[in-house]
Structure 1
Amino acid sequence: MTASRILLPKKTLSPYVSKELRDVTKEPLLFRTDKGALAYGYDATVLADICEAILSARSNDALSKQQKHIAEKAEILVRAFARVGIVALVDEATGFQTDRGHDALRLLLERYIADGLQKWIHTFPDSFFAELDRLYDNAPTSARSRPQYYSRFINKYVYDPIEHGYVKAELDKLNITDEGKRRARFHQWLTSEGRTILTRQIGKVEGMMEMCSDIEQFKEMVKRRKAVTVAPYLFDEMKKIIE
């Protein structure tokens, strides 16, 4: 299967894929990995070309609603490529590339991509909400049809127990505008370390949910258990950026 067909259905992307890109994706390069195994890959520029094709398809409204998230991620990659490219050009012009570590540009690209993709990380798994549906005896819900009390459940049993509500209070300060509206989901403010801690907390709560037959039994179990606190500082310096 070619790289273009992996990313988008052929019919959708085909009008925006050049003959050169189509040809090169049909003939992957054979190379040897660090461990000595043979593998197939593509020239690094192929990824940029595929991203451009996806963005062209989006510009012409050729993507379905379900495919638009792919274009958003392609845009993140293109912006990251541009930033790293500028750094590389300046380094070459000034001679600084001789002092830069051999993998410094790769690490820089990883950082730019990680910053851009953080909001796409699926922090609360579908299984978590499936357990909520079961405990409340609700039909299966989706992201757009979940009741408001699910949010209150998450605040009370996931966020509030972390450092006895300190982190939740700080996130509220960061996240709520002067008009009282939320800027983003709480977990989008977290650093990678904070996200890891939050994921563990979610896992603990989900484990308790799985042991209960309904929401009342879950609440009773929580009362019997001593609150477990975890690392106090989950978020970065977003407050400085906002101010």
Structure 2
Amino acid sequence: MQSKQSKGGKVRAEALSEDDRREIARTGARSRWEKEKVQGPVPKATHRGAVEIGSAKIPCAVLEDGRRILSEYGITQALGSRSGASKRIKKAGSESGSSIPVFLAPRNLSTFITKELADGPLSPITYKDGRRTLIGYEATALPKICNVWLQARDAGELQPQQLDRAFKAELLIRALADVAIVALVDEATGFQNERDRNELHRLLSVYLAEERLAWAKRFPDEFYRQIYRLKGWKWPVGKAKTPLLGHITNDIVYDRLPEGVLQKLRELNPTLEDTKRRKWKHHQFLSAEVGQPDLRDHILQLLPIMRISKSWPSFKRHLDIAFPKTGTQIDMLADYE
């Protein structure tokens, strides 16, 4: 249901002429340009997502300068602080030159907001997310924000209707106890793909086996039959299959596993000089706990895509949308075969 204010705003907008709308847009653009001249260019979000902390889901971003950001709106929602009084206090503060976030706007919290906190973690950060200009705060500020509410509660300064927000702040603090907020933001936005090689080593240590495992059938016959059908090849009567299957399997399976896995498998299972073939199967070097279950799940997801495809090019288009390789552009074609 629309409020009276939103209905009134809609009526006023509809009453504007086309020239009036253009002039309002030009005025807004000029205001943004002038602001950027004074404050410098607004940083852009290179990665975005939403972190889940307990039951809260907070939009986040990584900026081009590496800062991890939580949106003001998301923090506000997580603490349940969007009261009319808080918004009025924030507006009054903005007009007087003070930047008070909505989630800490109640006056009885001001005693617990130090100058160091206000000038540091609580300094708002304006950033671009596509065409939108948003306001956020450094991710590491979240525990400090929660502590303001908890300090006010412990001092007996909160009103009864504010105790629920302090309880939510306590839940957030507990949920953060075992998880680094920076790591959460990196995971949610996909920024972990650009971390240093130590992160890759940690992944490979659980994904790959320390010793080669005994051979076991990992690829069902259906997998190979579908490749032959999609390629238009005749299914072999004997056991011999085309050597091209190795390249195809690398392309549609191993190269779609986490980044770095195929490269490490090639190191562990190199091509022999005399035969130009590998002595072992790649899957024998995947760990039984993580790597092989992930391989099995990937193959099980590939088979339905193969079955609905009429040709190899059609299958590859479906595959590249469902499981794109790292760093590739997805060709979103509408006229699938």
Q: Normalised by the shorter chain, which TM-score bucket?
A: 0.3 to 0.5
> Which structure has greater strand proportion?
2
> Which structure has greater helix proportion?
1
